[in-house]
Structure 1
Amino acid sequence: MNHDKLHNIIAFTKDLHVLYIEDNFDVREQTIKMLQIFFTSIVVAKNGSEGLNLFNSNNKYESTSFDLIITDIEMPVIDGISMINSIRDTNKDIPILIFSAHSNTDYFLKTINAGIDGYILKPYNIEQISNSLMNIIEKNKLTNSNDHIIHLEDDYIWNLKDSLLYKNEEIIKLTKNEIKLFTLFITSKGSLKTYDEIESYIFNDFSSNNKRVRNLVSRLKIKLDYEIFESIYSHGYKLKYKNFL
């Protein structure tokens, strides 16, 4: 599997909220391990009835609604096709991906009529899942529902909506100038910023020795106990983003 391709897919999928339905314990446990490469938020159901209930209860609230459904077909209580048909009665748009051991024409036609976005035959591998997810992303113009969340190195998270820095779900208290420093780098999408650019943005003027910028970054390093702004010798700084691979 090409690492660049995988990284690009994960950039879209990492924060999607996924509902996964599978009745076989062994298959479910193995598949979850693969899905965790792509997703951090996976809600699991053991049959179609449980999956439908979870979908209906979560999708009442925008903050917990699912972005993608991955399901088996042959399951107890309510089978996968019946579950999908029920979901489609209220939601025509959510992408649905099927993982199934059934390859006969009847199942294919029923799932197509139910409105699915991909069909992978068991046993499957990372590359098959990657390709199907990429197709779904392109077909549905799927975007991250948490695209205001920016993942930084050492598990720091920047919330674009609120201009807040988090670690382990705790807010890190920042000064006004520290907030401006993060804002400058986040809005420029990771590009290197020179000392003069930083000085102009934060202090609205220039200093010949850049001491104020270096002191600001140094104090922040002590506060975070981590060098989240990388010093580029004689040029400036870069913000360190998390690499999920």
Structure 2
Amino acid sequence: MERFKILYAEDDDTIALLTKDALEEKYLVTHCKNGQEALLSFTNNNFDLCIFDIMMPKMDGFSLAESIRKVNNDIPIIFLSAKTHKDDRIKGLKTGADDYLIKPFSIEELELKIQVFIRRSLKTTIHEDQIYTLENLIFDAKNYTVTDQNTKTILTQREAELLQLFLDNKDEVLKRELILTKLWGSDDYFLGRSLDVFISRLRKILSSQDNITIENLHGIGFRLKSRK
């Protein structure tokens, strides 16, 4: 079986060497020392997953992720950073990252997160060729797009998976643990905060529809509710 290809951007030589050596036992890893080098490598090669430091010379991880998301909404992006502030983690997710590990991190935890994305790539959550209609919105699950008359919004894969999960269970309560486990493969504390960010994004996308809301059932979960 062809090995999973990882683009890894990290300017700290010691961390990069240790991490790359550990991951290369299972994966094909391309290491870049700055964001510009990583973006060039991404443009010229095919990768299955990206792992980025945030504080890098020439182009930081946030800018790198934003540039990649302009051309590819599907590839998983994991941030590894010493930036521990909540606002930094939220900013990372808003740039399109799928996960965020705080330094110092364990290789075992990083590998577990990578394996979650591998399982997702082998068994896609999205049901292709499925079109959903929500009042005036059309959600194309295959192409990750939501269209409202003449406006088209392109979702990330994680956003599309979450929206489809809600639509497949419309008017039903989805427990937080179920959503986290289904989409991330885990239900730890930080992923719970990540889920809240994605819920906020979907609420903004659905805000033009008066009869569609995502309700928060405190301590339980969420429900996409149609008032019609």
Alignment TM-score, normalising by the size of structure 1: 0.47
Shift of 1:94: 0.4
Q: Deviations over 1:15-42 (max 9, x none)?
A: 0111110011111111112211331x21
Q: Deviations over 1:179-206 (max 9, x none)?
A: xxxxxxxxxxxxxxxxxxxxxxxxxxxx
Displaced runs of 4 or more, over 4 A: none
SS in 2 for 1:37: coil
Q: Give 1 or 2: higher helix fraction.
A: 1
Shift of 1:95: 0.7
The structure 2 residue matched to 1:52, chosen from 24, 39, 42, is 39
Shift of 1:142: 1.3
Give the number of equivalent residue pairs: 123
Question: Quick check: 1:18–1:66 contact (8 Å CA) kept in 2?
Answer: yes
Q: Relative contact order, CA 8 A, sep 6+: which one is greater? A: 1
Bigger Rg, which one: 1
Question: Quick check: 2:93–2:99 contact (8 Å CA) kept in 1?
Answer: no
Instruction: Identify the residue that residue 184 of structure 1 maps to in structure 2.
Output: none
Instruction: Identify the residue that residue 157 of structure 1 maps to in structure 2.
Output: none
Shift of 1:116: 1.3
The structure 2 residue matched to 1:122, chosen from 103, 106, 115, is 103
Q: Does 1:93 align with 2:74?
A: yes
The unaligned stretches of length 5 or more in structure 2 are: 124-228
The equivalences for 1:103-182 within 5 A come to 103-138=84-119, 141-143=120-122
Shift of 1:131: 2.3
Question: Quick check: 2:8–2:32 contact (8 Å CA) kept in 1?
Answer: yes
The structure 2 residue matched to 1:69, chosen from 39, 50, 54, is 50
Alignment TM-score, normalising by the size of structure 2: 0.51
Distance in 1 separating the partners of 2:96 and 2:26: 23
Q: Deviations over 1:39-94 (max 9, x none)?
A: 1x211110001100110122xxxxxx111111100101000000000000000000
Letter in 1 for 2:33: K
Distance in 2 separating the partners of 1:117 and 1:38: 21
Shift of 1:137: 3.0
Distance in 2 separating the partners of 1:42 and 1:105: 29
Distance in 1 separating the partners of 2:108 and 2:32: 24
Question: Quick check: 1:73–1:80 contact (8 Å CA) kept in 2?
Answer: yes
Instruction: Identify the residue that residue 152 of structure 2 maps to in structure 1.
Output: none
Q: Does 1:20 align with 2:11?
A: no
The equivalences for 1:186-201 within 5 A come to none
Shift of 1:110: 1.0
Question: Quick check: 1:98–1:116 contact (8 Å CA) kept in 2?
Answer: yes
Question: Quick check: 2:62–2:92 contact (8 Å CA) kept in 1?
Answer: yes
Question: Quick check: 1:118–1:136 contact (8 Å CA) kept in 2?
Answer: no
SS in 1 for 2:122: coil
SS in 2 for 1:90: coil
Q: Deviations over 1:126-156 (max 9, x none)?
A: 3211321233234xx2139xxxxxxxxxxxx
Letter in 1 for 2:121: L
Shift of 1:109: 1.2
Instruction: Identify the residue that residue 205 of structure 1 maps to in structure 2.
Output: none
CA root-mean-square deviation: 1.8
Letter in 1 for 2:69: R
Q: Give 1 or 2: higher strand fraction.
A: 2
